[in-house]
Chains A and B, each alone.
Chain A
Amino acid sequence: MEAPPVTVMPVTGGTINMMEYLLQGSVLDQSLDSLLHRLRGLCDNMEPESFADHELVYLLKGQQGNPFILRARRSLAHPTAPWHLRYLGQPEVGDKSRHALVRNCVDVAASHSLPDFLNEMGFRMDHEFVAKGHIFRKGALKMVVSKLSRVLVPGNTDNTEPLSLSYLVELSVLAPAGQDTVSEDMRSFAEQLKPLVHLEKIDPKRLM
């Protein structure tokens, strides 16, 4: 008889501290096509993957300090796919010479009971939006070009209104902590997209 299939220990991926390296920018709607054209030429996948996601941002307020933020995302195009729960840490203050924003990142795939479960944990939904766009890849680099829309009636993703007349452009890489060479690769890739889009290291705290 064959060896039993289930005796393996679970993979405890928990020990690896993953960081997200991020550059952001935006293009006006009328320049979208030329940016997509350029990305098609530069990236691995000739035709980009399209996506339509609904993101809910949850806050957990403690007795003191900043609220704890979690982002729950579900695909509108693939309603049976698992939910995606994401924790993003505070941006590292780090050295000024680093080209990208670096922050801690935990990605969790979760079942559809996620919103109920977060509510039970004490999280409350703060805001929600719909993101529609395209994903490109080049090695470990991920380029996301998306249109953000506000949800007019809470929970109803059919009734949305664009937030602006432009598309958000994000270049990101997930890597274990300390691998700062990836920010070099990101910078050179971002250089190749100029002058169509200027990707910058943007501190989200500055915008709040």
Chain B
Amino acid sequence: MGVTCVCQVPVAEGKSVQQTVDQLHKKLEQLGAVKQGSFFVDCETYHATGNASGQPSKLLYVMHNSETPLSCMALFEGGPYLTADANFDVLMVKLKSHFQNAKGHKVESRGARYRYCDFLVKVGTVTMSSSARGISVEVEYCACVVPGDCWNLMKEFMQSFLGSNVPEIPSVFTSKPEGLFAPADCMDTMSQYLELFSKVRKQQVLPGSSVR
């Protein structure tokens, strides 16, 4: 795993989600990026049922990423995070009397996976209960694990196909002392997706955005 940045790209004016995604694909292909299969990231929300103390409980998120197909990531907003194997999903079924799955809250991002030299780019359509809610772009620079060392390079690369929509350095990196980036798991990536998904959940449904 390298350094990963996940951001939301606004839908181009007068265009649908699908048209904007196609436009991004075209730009990437013009750059010379090669399509390498597809990807998905999904997120389910659970809330604790029996709360003895009466305080509002934190939500538990269980996520999957096609890049690590045998793993299951469980997160609380702001931590702690847990990486487990796929049996964790079975455990959540057993725990259903304590943690209820908010079915309508399932968010996922699916799309194409491109490779351009040391960069991996994933352009996904973010959907919630089968309606498209937005576009996610994940860029990973695989050749480095220290965000501070490669952020400018990543930014420049992103500018080449995102134009002015390039995000600021993700907060997961700024909150960490430089050089201490742990590349072994994809939690940094997942917490960025989680942030994006929570933003998408709160936003209004886009007009005419049903998924084909």
Contact residues of A with B, CB < 8 Å? 1, 3-4, 6-14, 60-65, 68, 85, 87, 89, 104, 106-111, 113-114, 116-117, 120-122
- The count of residues in chain B whose C-beta lies closer than 8 Å to any C-beta of chain A is 40
B87 near A8 with CB under 8 A, answer: no
Q: Which residues of A contact B69 (CB under 8 A)?
A: 6, 8-11
Other 9 A-B pairs with CB < 8 A, given A61-B50, A68-B98, A87-B94: A4-B37, A6-B67, A7-B66, A8-B66, A62-B49, A107-B87, A108-B85, A109-B87, A110-B84
Q: Which of A87, A113, A120 is B58 in contact with, Cβ under 8 Å? A: A120
A7 near B83 with CB under 8 A, answer: no
Chain A: minimal CB distance from B52 (Å) = 7
Q: Which residues of B contact A1 (CB under 8 A)?
A: 34
Give B169-188 as 1s and 0s: 1 = Cβ < 8 Å from A's Cβ atoms. Answer: 00000000000000001000
A3, A13, A117 — which one has the most chain B CB atoms within 10 A of its CB? A117
Given contacts A4-B37, A6-B113, A62-B50, A116 and B80 within 8 Å (CB-CB): yes
25 contacting pairs across A/B (C-beta < 8 A): A1-B34, A3-B37, A4-B115, A6-B37, A7-B36, A7-B38, A7-B113, A14-B90, A60-B98, A62-B98, A68-B95, A68-B97, A85-B91, A87-B91, A106-B90, A108-B85, A108-B88, A109-B84, A110-B83, A111-B185, A116-B80, A117-B81, A120-B58, A121-B60, A122-B48
Contact residues of B with A, CB < 8 Å? 34, 36-39, 48-50, 52, 57-58, 60, 64, 66-67, 69-70, 74, 76, 80-91, 93-95, 97-99, 113, 115, 185
User: Considering only CB atoms, which chain A residue lies closest to B34 in the complex?
Assistant: A1
In whole angstroms, what is the CA distance A113 to B135 when docked? 32
User: Considering only CB atoms, which chain A residue lies closest to B75 in the complex?
Assistant: A117
Q: Which residues of B contact A106 (CB under 8 A)?
A: 87, 90-91, 94
Q: Which residues of A contact B49 (CB under 8 A)?
A: 62
In whole angstroms, what is the CA distance A8 to B67 when docked? 9
A8, A85, A104, A108 — which one has the most chain B CB atoms within 10 A of its CB? A108
Chain B: minimal CB distance from A59 (Å) = 11
